[in-house]
């Protein structure tokens, strides 16, 4: 059982007891040295910001008062507090009931969640060497603590007793769900194992935690260590002015004044591959990207990930499952690897055929230009752009001036106002962890405060790649009070330059809408228990609300209120809108194939039924050959930098995006069939039945209640143009 399952899925959040105060009844046998140490620890904890109410508006963490030195002591003390609370639950002589067992467990780790929410939030968005060292120490501590809870036989006995009489306890639907999820969490955490097997499970979990942390840190170091430094203007041939300006800005930041630097961060690498006329330079940056963690240096991940796959196979066998994928998927909507393969196989042949057609179109241009070479993977984006211009007269750089970051953010706010009546008001006086963070109060249509929303959009060395959503505090209710969520989005979108604001590619705008969909899931939550609120749903459902938001990005009615030229304020012309829409199915062979290839690679690593250590390169090569992937396409993530599955929560779950896309395409079809993409009745139903419920109900039951039937795959196939 992973840390997230234990601390969230098992509903373990905290005992609000100030146990750091000195105990006047302590035994007199303590030595003066012990008493001095205890007083020193007590004084240190008394000044630790995690052990006092946040004296900030809305309970936002006081980032200016939190230092790196606070984390480890706070985690250790918070673990001790939760252990004491759990001991009290187990020792309670009263018969187990929902309040003295399930709710007591739910509230037993509030302080620990308080600490880890801040630490892991900042470790992803604003890390440094000190934070990464703390992460290495903290990971095993939390892994052991999670196992101590999941394998506590006395605690499980009480939970099991309640679960066996769950239908006779008079519970609300949400309480019933909380009890069920707790019981499942204990089972999946090894509560039914023998004592020797429990000891084995602890070792496996602890080693996997350490390896996962190291994997992610290696990828970050590889990201930060690569620079493509250009010294002459000739090397800039083909690059738009905005990309040249961005390269000069990056060079200045990195101490290369007068030069141009391009990195492996997507806002830098993607447009370089798309526009650079220098094929060897495209090859260099592309090769740098796909070889992260595969350079036979101190940051190499091949042995780490092979070991992780082996340990996961061992753990699955210990738990009675054929493979890690079988174990993971048994708790997801998909249920089994076979059902995932079934979905992928509905899409794979058509996507691969379309990709081959796309290669032929690009090769025709190379040949017409007397290029004298065969298309390679590092050529794809460059020649795809040429095909797009030829077929649709669509130039990405024509579009960028209409997608200023500020306007895109305001666009998603306006959309949410039209759908749900929400409003966003910026506050510049609230605590934040970095100067680039922006913070908003979020209000409902009746004016009531819903939550706090924070954004952090630009790349920097201390931030891992990609884009994501998380929370410093989830929504819940306690003692009659609605505790509002503090939600944040993090991204790596192009920075402003000296002469231009932050301009986005269309796919970056799409990513922003996507990540805001996750934030919306957290902000609109209306649950009692934080462990079931917001995005606390199965892995193959969590991407559904985020992907729904992408559907509105290119709708003319939506573009009209956010896609405005950064210099003139002109709304994007209809002819450009039409080009965006006409090109929406362009390159879908590539997009679908590279994604499905990564999903299949993930499944291949995690359907292993024995725990022998594989040679990573050979295993991956065999997997790609088996799926028939063409040479011109690499999987979206190669194994050595596949952080979703080796440093994140998506192992055996990367398929989730396409599974959720079936739901999102079917949902948007619901809006379109009504004749109004802002249909207020459907929007309210979507909010009430899906977004507000979090994990309080079975996901498929929620979807059927919303749509009136199970999801259908046809709208997705149509949208991707694969029919």
Active site residues: 515
Taking alpha carbons only, the member of 556, 586, 563 closest to residue 395 is 586
**SS3 of 246-314:** HHHHHHHHCCCCCCEEECCCHHHHHHHHHHCCCHHHHHHHHHHHHCCCCCCCCCCCHHHHHHHHHHHHH
User: Are 249 and 498 a contacting pair, CB within 8 Å?
Assistant: yes
Residues 6 or more apart in contact with residue 374 via CB below 8 angstroms = 363, 366
User: Are 262 and 254 a contacting pair, CB within 8 Å?
Assistant: no
238: left (phi over 0), alpha (psi -120 to 50) or beta: left
Instruction: Return the ∠ at Cα 699 (arms to 693 and 702), rounded to 5°.
Output: 65
DSSP state of 514: H
Strands 228-230 and 468-473 come out as unpaired
**SS3 of 210-225:** HHHHHHHHHHHHHHHH
Residues 6 or more apart in contact with residue 598 via CB below 8 angstroms = 635, 636, 637, 642, 654
Burial (0-12, 13-18, 19+ Cβ within 10 Å), 673: exposed
User: Are 355 and 630 a contacting pair, CB within 8 Å?
Assistant: yes
**Separation CA 710–CA 261 (nearest Å):** 50
User: Are 311 and 208 a contacting pair, CB within 8 Å?
Assistant: yes
| 156-159: long-range pairs with CB below 8 Å, 24+ | 156/186, 156/191, 158/89, 158/90, 158/96, 158/101, 159/96, 159/101, 159/102, 159/105, 159/183, 159/186
**Separation CA 89–CA 152 (nearest Å):** 11
Whose tokens are 């350490």? That residue is: 210
Dihedral (Cα; 95, 99, 100, 106), 10-degree rounding: 140
Taking alpha carbons only, the member of 339, 301, 330 closest to residue 655 is 339
Whose tokens are 């998506």? That residue is: 650
Token digits of residue 133 = 């060292």
Q: Is 716 helix (H, G, I), strand (E, B) or coil?
A: helix
**Separation CA 586–CA 362 (nearest Å):** 13
């Amino acid at each position: 059982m992973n840390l997230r399952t234990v601390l969230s899925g098992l509903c373990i959040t905290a005992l609000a007891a100030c146990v750091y105060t000195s105990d006047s009844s302590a035994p007199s046998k303590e030595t003066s040295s012990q008493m001095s140490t205890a007083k020193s620890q007590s004084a240190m904890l008394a000044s630790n910001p995690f052990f006092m109410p946040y004296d900030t508006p809305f309970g936002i963490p006081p980032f200016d008062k939190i230092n790196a030195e606070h984390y480890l002591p706070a985690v250790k003390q918070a673990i001790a507090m939760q252990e004491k609370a759990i001991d009290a639950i187990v020792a309670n002589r009263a018969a187990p009931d929902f309040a003295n067992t399930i709710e007591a467990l739910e509230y037993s780790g509030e302080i620990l969640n308080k600490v880890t929410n801040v630490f892991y939030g900042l470790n992803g968005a604003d890390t440094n060497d000190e934070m990464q060292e703390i992460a290495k120490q903290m990971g095993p501590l939390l892994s052991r603590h999670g196992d101590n809870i999941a394998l506590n036989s006395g605690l499980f006995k009480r939970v099991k007793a309640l679960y066996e009489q769950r239908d006779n306890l008079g519970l609300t639907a949400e309480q019933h769900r909380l009890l069920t999820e707790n019981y499942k969490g204990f089972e999946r955490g090894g509560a039914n194992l023998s004592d020797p097997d429990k000891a084995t499970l602890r070792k496996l979990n602890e080693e996997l935690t350490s390896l996962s942390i190291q994997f992610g840190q290696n990828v970050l170091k590889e990201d930060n260590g690569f620079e493509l430094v250009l010294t002459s203007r000739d090397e800039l041939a083909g690059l738009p002015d905005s990309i040249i300006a961005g390269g000069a800005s990056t060079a200045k930041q990195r101490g290369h004044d007068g030069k141009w630097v391009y990195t492996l961060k997507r806002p830098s690498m993607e447009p370089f591959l798309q526009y650079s006329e220098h094929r060897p330079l495209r090859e260099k940056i592309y090769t740098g990207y796909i070889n992260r963690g595969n350079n036979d240096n101190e940051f190499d991940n091949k042995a780490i990930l092979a070991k992780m796959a082996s340990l996961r196979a061992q753990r699955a066998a210990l738990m009675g499952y054929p493979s890690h994928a079988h174990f993971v998927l048994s708790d997801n909507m998909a249920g089994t690897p076979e059902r995932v393969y079934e979905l992928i196989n509905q899409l794979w042949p058509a996507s691969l055929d379309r990709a081959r057609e796309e290669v032929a179109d690009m090769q025709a241009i190379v040949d017409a230009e007397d290029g004298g070479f065969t298309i390679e993977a590092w050529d794809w984006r460059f020649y795809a752009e040429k095909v797009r211009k030829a077929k649709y007269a669509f130039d990405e750089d024509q579009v960028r001036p209409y997608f200023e970051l500020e306007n895109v953010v305001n666009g998603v706010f306006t959309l949410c106002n039209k759908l749900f009546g929400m409003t966003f008001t910026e506050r510049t006086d609230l605590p934040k962890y970095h100067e680039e963070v922006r913070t908003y109060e979020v209000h409902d249509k009746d004016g009531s405060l819903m939550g706090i929303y924070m954004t952090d959009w630009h790349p920097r060395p201390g931030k891992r790649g990609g884009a994501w959503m998380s929370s410093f505090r989830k929504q819940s209710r306690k003692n009659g009070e609605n505790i509002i969520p503090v939600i944040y989005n993090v991204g790596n979108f192009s920075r402003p330059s000296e002469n231009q604001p932050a301009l986005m590619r269309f796919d970056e705008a799409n990513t922003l809408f996507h990540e805001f969909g996750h934030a919306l899931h957290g902000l609109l939550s209306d649950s009692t228990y934080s462990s079931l609120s917001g995005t606390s749903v199965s892995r193959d459902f969590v991407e559904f609300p985020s992907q729904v938001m992408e559907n509105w990005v290119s709708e003319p009615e939506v573009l009209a209120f956010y896609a405005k030229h950064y210099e003139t304020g002109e709304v994007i012309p209809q002819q450009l809108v039409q080009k965006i829409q006409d090109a929406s199915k362009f390159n879908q062979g590539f997009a679908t194939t590279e994604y499905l290839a990564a999903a299949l690679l993930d499944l291949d690593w995690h359907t292993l039924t024995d725990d022998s250590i594989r040679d990573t390169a050979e295993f991956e090569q065999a997997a790609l050959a088996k799926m028939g992937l063409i040479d011109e396409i690499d999987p979206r993530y190669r194994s050595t930098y596949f952080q979703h599955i080796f440093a994140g929560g998506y192992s055996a779950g990367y398929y989730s995006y396409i599974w959720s896309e079936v739901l999102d395409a079917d949902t948007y079809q619901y809006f379109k069939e009504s004749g109004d993409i802002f249909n207020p009745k459907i929007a309210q139903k979507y909010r009430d039945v899906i977004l507000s419920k979090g994990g309080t109900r079975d996901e498929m039951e929620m979807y059927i209640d919303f749509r009136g039937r199970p999801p259908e795959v046809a709208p997705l196939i149509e949208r991707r143009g694969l029919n």
